[in-house]
Chain A
Amino acid sequence: MSGGTALYDVPGPLARRRHRLYGVLATAGILALVGWALYLLFDTGQFTAEKWTPFAYKGIQEMLLRGLANTLRAFGFAAVLSLGLGTVLAVGRLSDHRPVRWVATVLVEFFRAMPVLVMIFFVFVALKVQPLPALVTGLTLYNGSVLAEVFRTGVDSVDRGQREAAYALGLHKTQVMTYVLVPQAVRAMLPTIISQLVVALKDTSLGFLITYEELLHAGKLIAGNLDYGLPFIPVVMIISPVYIGMCMLLSWFATWVAKRERRSLKTRAVEVAPAEPGTLLAGPAGHPR
């Protein structure tokens, strides 16, 4: 129901009838679109047995599973390392020493402004590294600096009274950070952190472009097989649900955490910022909400 927006009133009987008519028309339109797509698929012979037999073979199934395992391996490394790098850079940006702060700021801004792919290619081509480390390095540099910014805004958005009270009790900066600010910030930022991990998971598919043998790469190998009549569309139909499913699970987890946080008393003092792609040079008003 669109009851929450400023756009419509609660519809009366006439409006409801009109909406029903629109609904029927729109449904017909969407069904026609779906039907057309299906017709195209059948017409070009994408559902012939020839194109689907490879997936019944054990070797090919194992190849796909190996690809999936490689994707998850890259994701695991990238996630852990970027959380680490994010912490280090955030600590740097929150430092009391100006040079440290400057270095951290420059690093964060630079890596957020670069396309991930440029970093991956740089490590892969210029430093002549194996595909997996190159992919993980690129993902870590990018996601780490985005996460650093997430951590920093999290710590900054903890209610000022918390920090002041902690200092007034005589805690020193490290104690204020570790006992008071960071626990609250991390709780509040958890949904944003998880959504950033979804980005990392999606970007592992960039490994395909540097010949890292992940899921998409396995798919490409199968798709190029002349013996099965180039089963390209079947491959896409099998791979995309896997990717979309994995990312959706993580996204749902983030939403679930966010919902829990909103009810929790422990995050009262922090405003949860929405997850969004990194902003370069936020406007004069500071980080946009």
Chain B
Amino acid sequence: MNVLTDNLGRYGEGLLGTVELTVYASLLALVLGFLMAAFRVAPVASLRAFGTAWVTVLRNTPLTLLFFAVVLGLPRFGVVLPFQLFAVLALGCYTSAFICEAVRSGINTVPVGQGEAARSLGMTFGQTLGAIVLPQAFRSVIPPIGSTLIALAKNSAIAGSFSVTELLGTYKTLNELGYSIIWTFVWIAVGYLIVTLTISAVFNVLEKRWGVAR
């Protein structure tokens, strides 16, 4: 029990690391995911091909392999960044493929008639997209994006094994200090539960506010 009270600072540092990783990687994943979704529905064939390749490759790559390639591989090209940035890159790129698919299927759920009606009213492409399609797509996209970001938070645990400060990595120091290993893991589990439950609560609120009632 006193594992937590004795090492509040260490746990706090780890939790903060996990939260930071999650937030930055989420932002990167959302931006890249939206961009790739735009590519995948673009009327330009080469962009579509690029988006499809990005999604197919990243969705089928084990995250550990991606971490391995990014954290240990990029330095071979003379790219030297802090480990945390590498981790954000790997996590963000990996998750962007899932965000892209969620956004794309959200756009595809908007009935074709909506776009046709908008155009026949004389709206431009920008207006159709901004006022008609995206607001509707956004609603059906909230739950899948929520579960993708929860998965991201859980995946961030892998970063700990690549010399990034985060929650799971704290077990090593505590183990060396001779604390009960079971309790160490119980508090790590509680930390992850806090993070994932917070994300899921945020998305529940978002969904209640804007989601589609089906």
Q: Contact residues of A with B, CB < 8 Å?
A: 2, 4-9, 11, 15, 19, 22-23, 26-27, 30, 40, 44, 46, 113-118, 121-122, 125-126, 198, 202-206, 208-209, 216, 219-220, 223, 232-233, 236, 239-240, 243-244, 247-248, 251, 274, 276-285, 288-289
Can you name 11 A-B pairs with beta carbons within 8 Å? Answer: A5-B41, A5-B108, A5-B110, A22-B44, A115-B157, A202-B62, A248-B56, A278-B151, A281-B200, A283-B204, A288-B207
Chain B residues within 8 Å of A30, by CB: 46, 50
Q: Contact between A19 and B129 (Cβ–Cβ < 8 Å)?
A: no
- The CA of A236 and the CA of B66, in the complex, are separated in Å by 9
- The CA of A86 and the CA of B128, in the complex, are separated in Å by 45
Q: Contact between B60 and A248 (Cβ–Cβ < 8 Å)?
A: yes
Q: Contact between B155 and A284 (Cβ–Cβ < 8 Å)?
A: no
Chain B residues within 8 Å of A247, by CB: 59-62
**B50, B69, B133, B207: which contacts A7 (Cβ < 8 A)?**
B133
In the complex, whether B42 has a CB less than 8 A from a CB of chain A is: yes
Q: Contact between B65 and A243 (Cβ–Cβ < 8 Å)?
A: yes
CB distance from A210 to the nearest CB of B (A): 9
CB distance from B86 to the nearest CB of A (A): 14
Q: Contact between A208 and B68 (Cβ–Cβ < 8 Å)?
A: yes
Chain A residues within 8 Å of B116, by CB: 6, 9
Closest residue of chain B to A224, judged by CB? B72
Chain A residues within 8 Å of B135, by CB: none
- The CA of A125 and the CA of B160, in the complex, are separated in Å by 15
Q: Contact between A5 and B112 (Cβ–Cβ < 8 Å)?
A: yes
Q: Contact between B78 and A114 (Cβ–Cβ < 8 Å)?
A: no
What 1/0 mask marks residues of chain B from 164 to 183 whose CB sits below 8 Å from any chain A CB? 00001001000100000110
**B59, B128, B175: which contacts A125 (Cβ < 8 A)?**
B175
Total chain B interface residues with beta-carbon distance under 8 A: 77
CB distance from B145 to the nearest CB of A (A): 10
Question: Which 9 pairs between the two chains have the least Cβ-Cβ distance?
Answer: A6-B115, A288-B143, A247-B60, A205-B62, A115-B154, A115-B157, A205-B64, A279-B147, A202-B62
**A5, A8, A121: which contacts B168 (Cβ < 8 A)?**
A121
Q: Contact between A282 and B143 (Cβ–Cβ < 8 Å)?
A: yes
In the complex, whether B100 has a CB less than 8 A from a CB of chain A is: no
CB distance from B202 to the nearest CB of A (A): 11
CB distance from B38 to the nearest CB of A (A): 10
Number of residue pairs spanning A and B whose beta carbons lie under 8 angstroms apart = 194
Interface of A is mostly: helix
**A19, A114, A122: which contacts B44 (Cβ < 8 A)?**
A19
Closest residue of chain A to B113, judged by CB? A6
Q: Contact between A232 and B73 (Cβ–Cβ < 8 Å)?
A: yes
Closest residue of chain B to A248, judged by CB? B60
Contacts known (A115-B192, A232-B76); A208 close to B155, Cβ less than 8 A = no
Chain A residues within 8 Å of B105, by CB: 274
Contacts known (A6-B110, A118-B188, A209-B161); A280 close to B60, Cβ less than 8 A = no
- The CA of A223 and the CA of B211, in the complex, are separated in Å by 49
Q: Contact between A280 and B197 (Cβ–Cβ < 8 Å)?
A: yes
Q: Contact between A209 and B64 (Cβ–Cβ < 8 Å)?
A: yes
What 1/0 mask marks residues of chain B from 35 to 54 whose CB sits below 8 Å from any chain A CB? 00000011111111010000
Contacts known (A7-B115, A206-B64); A233 close to B76, Cβ less than 8 A = yes
Q: Contact between B200 and A280 (Cβ–Cβ < 8 Å)?
A: yes
- The CA of A285 and the CA of B212, in the complex, are separated in Å by 9
Chain A residues within 8 Å of B24, by CB: none
Closest residue of chain A to B39, judged by CB? A26
Contacts known (A7-B133, A125-B181, A288-B144); A281 close to B68, Cβ less than 8 A = no
